[in-house]
Structure formats: structure tokens, C-alpha cells
Chain A
């Protein structure tokens, strides 16, 4: 049984079309480390891509690419929370505040290595996530959304209230000094990109592990998940805390990038825009978040130049970007309900079918319901839950190694969680 490790048997999520396997593929058991290897390859390819990109565009574009990366960090956490754990947060800007202010306070009172500062800022947001997540774990979706909304409204007020946070002016941050003759904007962008790629690497491995499966099991059916031995509240708090940590890291990077943290920097509209961008990219997809981040950074730029071409007044042009964002969101939801990434995947699959000549959809039947609905993450999550539910209803008689249990392994979670 050594080969049937929990982290190798689970279905794969949010991956290119070529790498999705049906849960029944028992042969997969023999390649325990492959997701990690593949992710590392992708990470290096991504790093190479960004290196070439940042060195060939203008300094201002470097700044924007850095911004895309920092929003990708936040969206990755939000995507995990909503796409994989089914929880909604309307106030992720609040955790960005925690991360941003932590970094600024560290730099003001106890300057240290930037990497360490970023880690501490991330940890602070993770702790905040646990504190908020604990009571929130008892709440169902709309109420949790309400709590987080309240947090996003209240936290800036608190920060403005106490002198240590610098009031309305906030606290300034020191941008990292670029080594040698390197452009400081480019250096900052690289730091942001590195953070984003690492976050995506960690999260994509996490989502393939038993934690990821537990997240999805809880999302699909809490009762079934509980019956199969998953500690529902703990799982929800964990997911919330991880996503808060991502937001904290993103907030710290934003503080570095802007050069100052103050309460005006994290308005409620930011939290809402984050959620919208995450949905636009494709909830649960770690590739989709990049589409969302690009939309967040470039939408207003495009809208401004568009309104200039149309010779609209200043107020019209200011609201045009929001209007376009909303319109794009509506169109995307109609055309590709699983977000841009879902749509891209669908197109790629069609192209693949044309090239190969056969419908690749046969490989993962659960994932193919009605094309656009086909996010692998959701479908495979459902399989887990369904298996869990089966296991639960069938009672302990199957818990000693029936085929179902081997391929999805929820009972193993039980044993390991309690060990």
C-alpha cells in the first residue's frame, strides 16, 4: 500500500488540458511527484517569460507588470477560498491592510531583510485570517460575506484612529534598493513576480494535496465531508487563513510599490474589484487569476484612452472604466460561466480535438458537462465529494481499502488528521 499515497491519487485541478486524469486511473499512483515536477517546470518557464518580458518593455510597463503580479498574489488566495472552498469574502482589502501596515511598521521601527519583512507581513495576515475565520467558519456564505464586508469598512477607520498607524497620512515604506546598476522599477517588479510565482507554485501543490481535496469536499457538501472524517470548521479556517495570508503578502507588495500605506489606499471598492476580477479570470483557476490581474491593472488605462478617443468629459471617462469592467464581467459570465480561463480551456480543448481528431472529452467525463461548465477543479471536486458521500452512507464496511477509497482517499484523511 505504500504506493497509494494520498497526494498522488487525487484528481488534478486547474491544469492544462493535457494533464487531467480521471480519478479511476490507478496507474497514476506510480508517479507520486509528478505534479510538483511539472509545476516547477512551469515556474521556471514563467520566470523566463517574465524575465524576457520585463527586460524588453519600458520601465513604466515594468511597474505595471509588477502590479499585475501583486494582484495575482491576492487573487490566488481569493480564488482558493471561493473556487475551492466555496467561501465568499467581500473584504479581502482588509487583509491587504494588515499586510501593508505590518510591513510599513516593521520598516519604521525594526528594519530588517525585505524577504523577512514580507514573510512577517504574510504571517500577520494569516493570523488575522484565523481570528476572522474562526467565528466565520460557523457562518454560511452570505453571512460570511457580510462579516468580511464589515471588516473592510472598519479596518481603515481603526488605522486612521491610532497615531501609531500615522493617521490619514499613513506610513511610508522604503522601496528595495536594486543591486548594481539595475533599474529600481524592474527590480521591484522582479520581486513581485517572484512572490506571485512562488505563491502559485505553493498553492497549486497544496490544492493537489489532501488539503486541497478536503477544501473541495467541504465546498461541495459539508455534511458528507464531515461524515467522511474531515474537520469542516478547521478546514474552512485553514482555507480562509491561507487566502488571508496571500492578501497580506499582496498588501505588503502594494505598500512597497506605492511607497506609502494609508487608509485611502484600500477602499471598499478595491475588495469588490478583487472579487470581480477573480470571477472574471475563473474562480478556482490559478491561471485564471492572471487574466483577472491584467484586467485590474489595465482596464482603467484602456478605458481612459478609449474615452479620450471618444472625446468624453472627465467624469464620463472616470466612470467608463467601471462600466467597461462591469460589461466585460457580464459578457464573460454569459459566454464563459467559468471565467476567461474556463473559456480559454474550452477553446483549447476544441482545437486539440481538431488536431488529434477525436474528442478528448472522453477522458474526463465529469469535467465536460456542457463545455463551458467544465472547470476541472469543480468537476473533480465533485467526484471527491461524491466518493466521500458514498463512503459516508455506506458506513465503515468500505473503509478498509475498497477501490473507491483507494482512488480518492477521504478515509485516509480521517486517519491522518487524527494521527
Chain B
């Protein structure tokens, strides 16, 4: 029996196992003391003097340009509220984390918000895939999932009663613009250009509900993950098909990447663009910078925003260019006073910062409606029953009810009248917007597009004072 080499080996194994056991026992002993049995009787995230809410938004990465301004703009509203004593004496603490538009990061960060920051509600998280990644989790934890920054037709379900959309669903945008095309461009050939995701498909669903199928001569799409260069192929195909009106569901960069090559090949159809990709203060500078990159000629770059002239789109909040609108005045005042100078000086009031202010103010209104004894139930009840009387910047009141969890379901059709020139925000040349239609409302289903005849929510006195 040769035993050479065996004994030391065994010794070492047992020494190692023994040492590990000692460590484990020590850990066990210590472990008992660590387990805390915290059972707070009050509402999570709410104290007498504070409300903690959170969100996940893209601050860097491909979705960040533009969208990264929204959360700081929301926070500006909360800072204004906090500076005036908060809501029922509670100051709002807004924790927004950078998920880079990556759903697994969203899932991770949302757990951090819920489990370590103990948020009262998730307010204003951005993106369709990212918010879908957390809907089940927030539902299981009974955390309100409010004002999701996505127009997906997927937020209003009885399965997730604590989940609320906010902006108009893309299908309603499509229906309203589709109806405008049908009535104002009869007999014209229509082309489609859309992002090959739910955003584009939902919008075109709306268009096709209104525009007769025979009028649509060409359907072109682009893949957002590979969106890098000019969409010459698609625009040439639309031109070849003879499309006189092009309906577009595009993000701002894609709008610019479609218009530039079309102009280069001498194709100037009537563009009808969903509000997501038609915000002039966002698209204008993009047109400029893309032209500068391609031609290295500043004069051409300066002239490029002129391509937006005549573009038809829809808006669900007052246009940024209507300087006399009381909501616009208030929004500018909040942004100027309560955002960091970079946000204000760089972007001023554009589609994204206006969106942020409006969304933040919606939450403030919800808190006021929920009353002094704030709980998750009282907040959801207030949103389900009182939202129609909220004063928010929408052109129509919020639609929330126990059955519908979409916010704004109406918009008006407008036309950009952008002169060629530079965009200098907040001061400088501004594009102006011509209103083409009354405000319409509609549903995501087959329901008709109806003229809205009700009241437009006014600016509350406390806010109006701010603008002086």
C-alpha cells in the first residue's frame, strides 16, 4: 500500500474545511443580530415632511440626446414646489437614475429605488422596453408606476391597475393626423415612413384607420438600432412611388436623416410627422449639425432648419413658440429659475423640457388631489376620480378614470413655419407654429375622431404668480 503524498493532502483539505466552518459559524452567530424586523406602519416613502419618488431615465447612451433633459425639467417643478413649502408640508425628493435605455439596468435600478431608497412611487420612467421590464415587479411590490414616458398602447390594462401612461398613445396621434390627411389632401398619393418598432407600427395603425388603403402608395421603414446615415433609399422609393404626402413616425434624428437626402434628390413632399419627431427646437439644430458634418459649409448648415418649414404635425400641449400663452410663460419661468444653467442655457424650452415640466406638474396636482393623508391608495384613487379636473398644460384635460389609464387623448394639428436661421435657445430665432385644426380627441380603438369642445385647463393662480 503506497500512501506517499496522501496524508499532507488530506490534512490540508481538512484544515481548509475546518477553517471555513469556523468562519461560517462566526457568520451564523453574527447573522442573527443583523436580521432586522422593520415593519413601518406609515406609507413607504412618505414622512411628515417628505415624499421620495424615483425614476429610471437615459442620461447617457443612444436615447439620451433630448430625452436626458426631461427628468431635470421635472425636478425643476419639484424644486419650485419645495421652495414654496412643499405639498401639505411635504417636500418632494426626486431620485432619477441613469439606465442608459437598457432594460436589465432598468430592472436593477428600479429594485434599488424600491428596496433601498424606499420610493413612494415610480414617476416618469422613460421608454417602452425599459418600462415593460419593471411593470410586473412594481405591480408585485404595489408601487404606483406613474406617467410612463412612452406612447405605447400597452399601459392601460386592468392587469396592472397601478400603471398610468401620460402622453397620447401613438395610435391616437395617427388617427388625428390621418383624419387631417383624408380631409385636406383628398386624392393625393400617400407614402409612409416609420420606425420599425411599436412606435412606428402603432402610429401607422392609426393612419390606416383613417386614410383609405388605396391612397397609400409606398410603405418605408427604418431600423432604429442601425440608424446611422441618410435614408436615401427610403426617400428615393417614396419619390419613385409618386407619394405627394409622406406620413412619418420618426424620432427627431430620423426626421432629419429623412428630410436631408430627400431635399438633395429634389423630392419635397408634404411631410406629416408625429409630434415625437417634429419638435422644431429639437429637429432644427439636428438638421444644422448633420448638414455641417456632411458639407462643412456653415451657410448651408444655417439654412438647413428651413426644411422644416411647412411640416404638419400634432401637438397636445401649447406650442413653445406661443410666447403669450400663460402656460408657456410659467414653464419658462420654472426652467430658468430651478434648473441648472446648462439645461436652461443649452435647451431652453423645447419639446423635452416642456414635457418634463408638464409631467412634473401633473404629479404635483395628483399629490394635492390625494389630500393630507397621503397613501398609495389615496393617490391612485385621486388619479382615477379627479384627474379630469387637474390643471395641467395639456390642450385637453387628463383622461384618467378607473377604466382608462392614458393621460392626454387629444391634440391639434399644426404647421411649422420655420424660417431658415439658427436656433439659439432660450433667446434667439424661434420657429412659429400655425394652428390648422381644432383640438380633437379620440380613442386607441375604432372610436371616431371628435372635436373637443370642453374647457382647456387654465394656469392655477399659484403658478401664474411665478411668471409675474
- The answer to whether B108 touches A55, judged by C-beta atoms less than 8 angstroms apart, is no
A167 adjacent to chain B (CB < 8 Å): yes
Q: In whole angstroms, what is the CA distance A93 to B144 when docked?
A: 33
A184 adjacent to chain B (CB < 8 Å): yes
Which residues of A are found within 8 Å of B337, using beta-carbon distances?
none
- The answer to whether B132 touches A260, judged by C-beta atoms less than 8 angstroms apart, is yes
- The answer to whether B136 touches A172, judged by C-beta atoms less than 8 angstroms apart, is yes
A22-30, A110-118, A375-383: which lies at the B interface?
A22-30
Q: Which chain B residues numbered 248 to 286 have a C-beta less than 8 Å away from chain A? A: none
Q: Give the size of the chain B interface in residues (CB under 8 angstroms).
A: 55
Q: Give per-residue flags for B363-386: 1 if the beta carbon is below 8 A from chain A beta carbons, else 0.
A: 000000000000000000000000
Interface size class of A (residues with CB under 8 A): 35 or more
Which residues of B are found within 8 Å of A21, using beta-carbon distances?
5, 9
A-B pairs, top 5 by smallest CB distance, nearest first, are: A18-B12, A60-B115, A318-B60, A56-B31, A258-B107
- The answer to whether A157 touches B9, judged by C-beta atoms less than 8 angstroms apart, is no
Which residues of B are found within 8 Å of A19, using beta-carbon distances?
9, 12-13
- The answer to whether A41 touches B17, judged by C-beta atoms less than 8 angstroms apart, is yes
- The answer to whether B133 touches A262, judged by C-beta atoms less than 8 angstroms apart, is yes
- The answer to whether B20 touches A45, judged by C-beta atoms less than 8 angstroms apart, is yes
| Highest count of chain B CB atoms <10 Å: which of A49, A57, A60, A254 | A60
A-B contact pairs, 20 of them (CB 8 A): A21-B5, A25-B5, A27-B4, A28-B5, A30-B1, A52-B31, A58-B116, A64-B108, A160-B196, A160-B197, A160-B223, A169-B198, A172-B135, A175-B140, A185-B115, A259-B136, A262-B133, A265-B103, A267-B102, A314-B68
Q: Shortest Cβ distance from A208 into chain B, in angstroms?
A: 15
- Main SS of chain A's interface residues? helix
- The answer to whether B104 touches A258, judged by C-beta atoms less than 8 angstroms apart, is yes
User: Assuming the A-B contacts A67-B108, A160-B225, are A26 and B2 also in contact, with contact meaning beta carbons closer than 8 angstroms in the complex?
Assistant: yes
- The answer to whether A38 touches B59, judged by C-beta atoms less than 8 angstroms apart, is no
Determine the residue in chain A with the shortest Cβ distance to B23: A49
- The answer to whether B134 touches A259, judged by C-beta atoms less than 8 angstroms apart, is yes
Q: Shortest Cβ distance from B390 into chain A, in angstroms?
A: 29
User: Assuming the A-B contacts A52-B27, A167-B198, are A260 and B115 also in contact, with contact meaning beta carbons closer than 8 angstroms in the complex?
Assistant: no
Which residues of B are found within 8 Å of A86, using beta-carbon distances?
none
- The answer to whether A18 touches B2, judged by C-beta atoms less than 8 angstroms apart, is no
Contact for B13 among A18, A59, A172, A254, CB less than 8 A: A18
Q: Shortest Cβ distance from A111 into chain B, in angstroms?
A: 15
User: Assuming the A-B contacts A48-B24, A55-B31, A59-B115, are A259 and B2 also in contact, with contact meaning beta carbons closer than 8 angstroms in the complex?
Assistant: no
A222 adjacent to chain B (CB < 8 Å): no
Q: In whole angstroms, what is the CA distance A32 to B133 when docked?
A: 48
Which residues of B are found within 8 Å of A28, using beta-carbon distances?
5-6
Determine the residue in chain A with the shortest Cβ distance to B57: A314
Known: A16-B12, A45-B17, A260-B132. 11 other contacts (CB 8 A): A18-B9, A18-B12, A25-B5, A41-B17, A168-B128, A169-B198, A259-B134, A260-B107, A262-B103, A263-B225, A318-B98
- Main SS of chain B's interface residues? helix
Which residues of B are found within 8 Å of A338, using beta-carbon distances?
none
Contact for B6 among A31, A60, A156, CB less than 8 A: A31
- The answer to whether B9 touches A169, judged by C-beta atoms less than 8 angstroms apart, is no
The chain B residues found within 8 Å of chain A, CB to CB, are: 1-6, 9, 12-13, 15-17, 20-21, 24, 27-28, 30-31, 34-35, 59-61, 68, 98, 100-104, 107-108, 111-112, 115-116, 128-130, 132-137, 140, 152, 154, 196-198, 201, 223, 225
A165 adjacent to chain B (CB < 8 Å): no
Q: In whole angstroms, what is the CA distance A172 to B136 when docked?
A: 9
Q: Give per-residue flags for A136-159: 1 if the beta carbon is below 8 A from chain B beta carbons, else 0.
A: 000000000000000000001100
Contact for A262 among B12, B28, B59, B132, CB less than 8 A: B132
Q: Shortest Cβ distance from B202 into chain A, in angstroms?
A: 11
User: Assuming the A-B contacts A18-B13, A18-B16, are A260 and B24 also in contact, with contact meaning beta carbons closer than 8 angstroms in the complex?
Assistant: no
Q: Shortest Cβ distance from B4 into chain A, in angstroms?
A: 5
Q: In whole angstroms, what is the CA distance A60 to B112 when docked?
A: 6
Which residues of A are found within 8 Å of B223, using beta-carbon distances?
157, 160
A365 adjacent to chain B (CB < 8 Å): no
Which residues of A are found within 8 Å of B20, using beta-carbon distances?
45, 49
Q: Shortest Cβ distance from A350 into chain B, in angstroms?
A: 16
Which residues of B are found within 8 Å of A260, using beta-carbon distances?
103, 107, 129, 132-133, 136
